[in-house]
Homo-oligomer: A and B are copies of this chain.
């Protein structure tokens, strides 16, 4: 370091820029090329560092953190492969509109050309998963690049900004700490769109307000309920909801179902769809002979606002236009919990057990896949809570997003529901829950198969799987023991085999702080 003041390295200028720009958490899995950056994290006050044992935990945690705070967190990743390991949950975050600042280490600029083992095309890896990608050129400019990354991440919707940091731009002399430029406010929706939407929804029950993104906040839903009170229109949420406000006192919505035929029933008879923060209803997957777009024949689709717009303001303008603002919203959930269920497991029973105990302010992270699809009615009247879904369809989302939600909201209980197959992609998230003592109850629904694929195999026209196909859908040989896995990572756990045991375990989990895993052996 030639006697240089280490507090003025490029890495220090970048960390200070991040802290100044409101990025106060780094979900990290560093390596050698990031060691100067780690040293700077050590020196600079104001950045919380949370270690993940796998990079997909870090990126998913940043997604969860953004969803709960609307503020980007940083990740710290080790060159191309570290970024690649983070990529699946970056994909999910990108589809959820979550802003993240990825800091990705790279070899020193003079070292890259020797194509040593970890050399890779980091920008190429970043591009499919990022809105903004830059390799910083010098230690003097890295702070300014960091500020641009924060600005990008703060966009509406949030963006994935990937800043690639050659080691010499971290260890060389830093420039001034940079001020993050303001992010433009989300666009206000034009009056024309509001008037058109008001007209479209006048169709009453044959019209549908189709909600996504920021149209699923408590306030947006309240406005939607008033609009429905005025017009008689249906109110429907998109299939994926990054964060949905639910519970007693809030306007209830159902999500568009994953199964095409069920979704088509939900949309049956609709002649006008008005999109607010959502895209036109589409099937998750394609199937032979089935449609991709689920809008009924002859139905007109118009857009009130996109997910990039100020959806709450657009819905307010629409309610005003309709003279609905002062009406009482319809569809408001009354406070009411189901009785605790008893006996053998059933899907409804699981939903009831959850609805019976879900505490006020809970954050439900839902990667329950086939098991949890019908849970909504049983928790509609539970105390107000948020419900987070996987927006990108890449499984291995639940544990990591729960980590981020837990870091973001230490005073709220996180309930993380995962299928056994999904849980294994990022099972390392349990260790970070233990390390940070996050208040997360993990529910593993262990049906010991990729249950969804059984129906899918039949859905694609291959209804009678033989032994080689079945072998790729089953997880029961050997049996996964999630209690052992959790304890192996320092998280207390128990298995339950009926609803009575589940009630007891849930009650324990809800009444204590810290991570706890319940394996529901179905």
Q: Residues of A with Cβ closer than 8 Å to B?
A: 1-2, 6, 28, 30-33, 35-36, 38-39, 41-43, 47, 49, 51, 53-54, 56, 80-82, 84-85, 87-88, 91-92, 95, 107-108, 110-111, 114-118, 120-121, 124-125, 127-129, 167-168, 171, 240, 279-280, 282-286, 288-289, 292-293, 390-394, 396, 421, 424-425, 427-428, 431, 434-435, 450, 452-453, 456-457, 459-462, 465-469, 471-473, 475, 477-485, 487-491
Contact = CB atoms under 8 A, between A and B. Distances in A.
A472 B283 contact: no
Contacts of A427: 427-428
Contact of A117 (B1, B120, B391, B482): B391
B453 A35 contact: yes
A101 to B, nearest CB: 17
Nearest to A389: B117
A49 B125 CA distance: 29
A477 to B, nearest CB: 6
A471 B168 contact: no
Q: Which 10 A-B pairs have the closest CB atoms?
A: A478-B490, A81-B394, A484-B488, A39-B462, A108-B286, A111-B286, A117-B393, A84-B87, A485-B488, A42-B469
Nearest to A482: B488
A273 to B, nearest CB: 15
B120 A91 contact: yes
B469 A41 contact: yes
Contact of A292 (B28, B110, B124): B110
A489 B477 CA distance: 9
Nearest to A288: B171
A488 B477 contact: no
A76 to B, nearest CB: 8
A35 B462 contact: yes
Contacts of A431: 424, 478, 480
11 contacts: A31-B450, A36-B461, A41-B469, A84-B88, A84-B129, A95-B117, A167-B460, A427-B428, A479-B490, A480-B489, A485-B485
Nearest to A57: B424
A128 B120 contact: yes
Given A116-B285, A427-B427, 17 more contacts: A1-B288, A38-B472, A39-B465, A42-B469, A51-B471, A84-B84, A110-B286, A114-B280, A117-B284, A117-B392, A120-B129, A121-B127, A171-B288, A435-B477, A477-B490, A481-B487, A481-B488
